A and B are shown apart, each in its own frame.
Chain A
Amino acid sequence: MTAYIIRRLLQLVLVLFGVTLITFSMLKLVPGDPAVALAGKGATNERIAFVRHQRGLDRSFYVQYYLYVGRLFHGDLGDSLYSGRPVRTLIWEAAPVTIQLAIAAVLIELLGIPLGVYSALRQYSFWDTALTTAALILWGIPVFVLGYFAMYIFGLKLNWLPIGGVGPTVLWVIPSSWESLKTLILPALTLGMIEVAYISYMQRASMLEVTRSDFIRTARAKGLSERQVIWGHGFKNAVIPVMTIAGIDLGALIGGAIITETVFNRPGIGQMIYLAINQRDIAVIAGGVLFATFFFVFANLLVDLGYAWVDPRVRLGE
């Protein structure tokens, strides 16, 4: 296990190196002189030159990258070119909104596991066909399309739920009132439904594969009850790969959360990036993308370590 963790951490360092190199290159590739932007409106040439030197913008690419990573270690993502506020502060304010949505969606996503198992145990039955078809259709629906239809029907026509905004929270992410929870329901269901479809589809496939394997036949042969065979042997082995898939899929979930926020007007990371795109504020875009990527990379690390911990084949596989 230790060897696996070390290997995995080495890989992590490499990935983070690549990711920061890419975001840094993007910052450099954008046309325009960042020193002029940083110095502010109507700055003198001396002032611009001073800022350029102070921020190391007159140094070579490699030195600048080195300085950039050094600033990242201090949590400094630069300042917004539009509002002048530190990107770190913007992210700090926006992140709880996005994290709240992501957690709610993950909780809904878990419903896919029982649905998938049900489908697999009754393969080719009416409900299996219905669930599988629904899953494939939902899987193909872009999150903003589903979001606007949900908003139109439940928000505008039936008037059951608010069509956007966020409410007050305790501990950053837990809605503190019914009104606050209501603002979360539509976005979370929108994002969660698409993930439920995906997870149930994967759980079904995994369960079907496991129930056809030799050790299940052995379990039946030694006289275990059907319940013990399915849940004790089958389900346990079928759910592990799905958890990994869910980990990989977290990237899609984060991306989906970003888009969902623009639909329901939630002031999270997605909304922040969306506004920054319209303002051509590359510092905020790169900062937001980097933040989400770090989150994704570390979440995946935890999932992988958990997977290796429960399934020795993974850590001994190499």
Chain B
Amino acid sequence: MIPRFLLLAAAVALLAALPFLLPQGLVNAAIQMLIAALFASAYNLLCGQAGMLSFGHAAYFGVGAFATVHAMNALGGAGLLPTPLMPLAGAIAGLGFGAVAGWFATQRTGTYFAMITLAIAELLHALAPHLKGLFGGEAGISSMRMPSLGLGFGSTTQVYYLTLAWVLASLGLLFLFTRTPVGRLTLGLRENSHRLRFLGYDVHRLGVLVFSISAMFSGVAGGLQVVSNEAANYVLFDPGLSAAVVLNTYIGGVKVFLGPVLGASLMTFFGYAVSDLTRSWLLYQGVVFVLVMLFMPAGLAGLFTAAGALARRCGALALAQVLILGFAGALLVGAGGALLVEILQRLFSQDYRALAGAAATLPPVQLLGRSWQPAALATWMVPAALAGVGAGLLYAARRRRSTLEARSEQAAAAAWVPAGTRSAA
């Protein structure tokens, strides 16, 4: 087993080397991935660790972003802080606003808590376009990164390193938080806040504290976004952003510290890679979320945990068999599903309907450099066959896994001899 800190060091080294390995466009995507990863981790502090499901976390991201854009424009454009420290403005604004919003929201728990957070975010979303001074109206506020400490911050690479440093430091702090007394109490808050009160803890204050810290790191993420984009707009308060962070966090897995990081960076990357190819990205995002919740409630991080457990019990070879079957199956099902969605999307597009109205027979759909006849059975057989074979492979992977586990259980049972019978045997 490779020690954890070695894995961590390798990951950090890889992240540091990225700008030399990737083209400019992908470095930009990497910045977005880092920001989304931090936002999801900040969200998970509240959602996964404290058990408070917020539906309006875009509010704290947005407040952090606007605070940062104002800090950048302050003093006649010179900036309140040196450019590398700008996200600090986002952190402070997030903390402050989070404390106020959290004071109200944590008066209630469960559904009512979720509704209050949703209402606060909607309030900001509705107000922002009307408050020209604060949020720049519909056009938003733009800014410029000022050179600082001998660095120009003009290139994407420099922005990448600035983002990377902030994200790693923030994730480090969020991890250390889990080791502090308050971090342990946060778990108690999730598990049984009623009992905490009878142990003498002020649950409301604790809730506000955790809420504020989560909002603070969300504010840092918002600040980093502004430093990267040099602009902020009321769209930052969009409910879509609040929803995305929930989806990313759950897809990654709320039970593992790095789960949300994984979920958010993967989903952001796919969003970036796929948005040029398809108009159905939101549909895919939703489908991925539903599938993960149905078949892997512990998220993608849970997949690693399960793989590790299987490898320990049945060996790496068995794991490889299951993994190959599973991945091939998932890939085929994904390909079949995507093909079906894309053909349908083109069939129902306005262009196609206009075309079909003019022609006597249904014209073919152009996709992947081929013509697909909507009326031909073969057109529908391809995605169906892909998905069917894929589903078969997934089923096989599942069966393989359960037989392997049953076998190792039998082996364990056979190896175990009750203490009293050993001498007789």
Is this pair of chains taken from one and the same complex? no
